[in-house]
Structure 1
Amino acid sequence: MKAKLFSALALILMSFSVGKATAQDKGQMVRIAKITVDPVQLEAYNAALTEQMTIAVKLEPGVLTYYAVADKDNPANITILEIYANEAAYQSHIQTPHFKKYKATVEKMVKSLELINVDVIGIAKKD
């Protein structure tokens, strides 16, 4: 199951552009969040997540990308790929009212959370 999620995220990462990671890419903060949600609260969780992601990308110039995917066999296992312009953009993001609202809303919905910081080592994309 974990292999499927990481394969899906690898495909997403490869969708950004063709070639090696550039200096600009290397300054970015890229994180994978692995979340297990209470299945009974999954619909409410997905709504809160979608709201938070939409607002963040719209309002925050340093929030570059969010991809949220659910395991087909167990939709309560969610993996999010987050890309920020840099560490400062991420630190700013977690202080915003919309992020704090999301965290308070989902606090009792999330059964587990694992945050994994990653480095982009290569990217590929169809134009």
Structure 2
Amino acid sequence: MKAGISLSLLLAMSSSASALGQKATVPPVFNIFELVIKQDKYSAYDSLAEKNITASVTGEPGTLAMYSANKTASPSVAYVFEIYADSDAYQQHLNSTSYKEFLRNSADILQTSQQRRIDVIPQFLADKQIAQSDKTINNFVIVEVKPAFRQAFCDIVLPEMAQSIKVEEGVQAMYAAIDKANPNRWYFYEIYASEEAYQAHRLTPHFKEYIAQTAEMTTYKEAIAIRPGMLKNKGGLMYEIK
């Protein structure tokens, strides 16, 4: 680890036990990967992902969250969502023993030629410490926004997400990012304690207001049904783009 540890890393370490920590002043690194699992290797992948996620989140101060999920309609497709305090923390993860072990073993488990990284710029990242159970659900949604409404959409959706994570007990994580190559494309990843918590979220005044205000701002919405695999984080992250 470098001698000059970043402010965001210190914040991550000090706020991990809180429900929502102090706002991060350095943009975290947010990665989204789409992987393809080889036939009959699902259990091996689950074990490998669980081992890597557990070692990374518990053993690396700057690794704030790692989540694995499978596409419901096509379980061979897996998504991995990662959050690091900053670029230094991400580099430290890439040099870690757990990640190198993951790489060594993944060649027999994943169709590496079909791996895809979705390059994104984080807009809003907030979470509480995940207490995963059989009831935990997650959502992955892609939204295309009309160019003329790019800023207006941002000004509406970010406060809605902040309100949701603040006042709704069953909302455990809310993350939003835009595509680096296409700033009109948004990716949302959300974690709820249960289906009941998600349905309660949809009935809140702030969610209904967001839906009403942005109804004419988008051209495309896709909700990718996924089921959670291993979900682990430190908790207490709060980042909003300026």
Structure 1 match to 2:160: 52
Relative to 1, partners in 2 of residues 1:121 and 1:42: Cα closer, same or farther, differing over 3 Å? Answer: same
Structure 1 unpaired stretches of 5+: 15-22
Q: CA RMSD in A?
A: 2.8
* Aligned positions, number: 117
Structure 2 match to 1:116: 224
The answer to whether 1:39 aligns with 2:147 is yes
Relative to 1, partners in 2 of residues 1:125 and 1:89: Cα closer, same or farther, differing over 3 Å? Answer: closer
Q: Larger relative contact order (C-alpha < 8 A, sep ≥ 6)?
A: 1
Relative to 1, partners in 2 of residues 1:93 and 1:73: Cα closer, same or farther, differing over 3 Å? Answer: same
Kept in 1, the 8 Å contact 2:132–2:231? The answer is no
Among 135, 154, 174, which residue is 1:27 paired with?
A: 135
TM-score normalised by length of structure 2: 0.44
The answer to whether 1:83 aligns with 2:153 is no
Higher strand proportion: 2
TM-score normalised by length of structure 1: 0.80
Higher helix proportion: 1
Q: Residue type of the partner of 2:161? A: M
Structure 2 match to 1:70: 178
Kept in 2, the 8 Å contact 1:34–1:80? The answer is yes
* Identity %, equivalent residues: 31
Query: Which structure 1 residue ranges, 4+ long, deviate > 4 Å from structure 2?
Result: 123-127
SS at match of 2:158: helix
Q: Deviations over 1:74-113 (max 9, x none)?
A: 0111000011110000000000000000000100001111
Structure 2 unpaired stretches of 5+: 1-30, 35-78, 85-130, 236-242
- Whole-angstrom distance in 2 between the partners of 1:39 and 1:25: 39
Q: Point out the structure with max Rg over C-alpha.
A: 2
Structure 1 match to 2:38: none
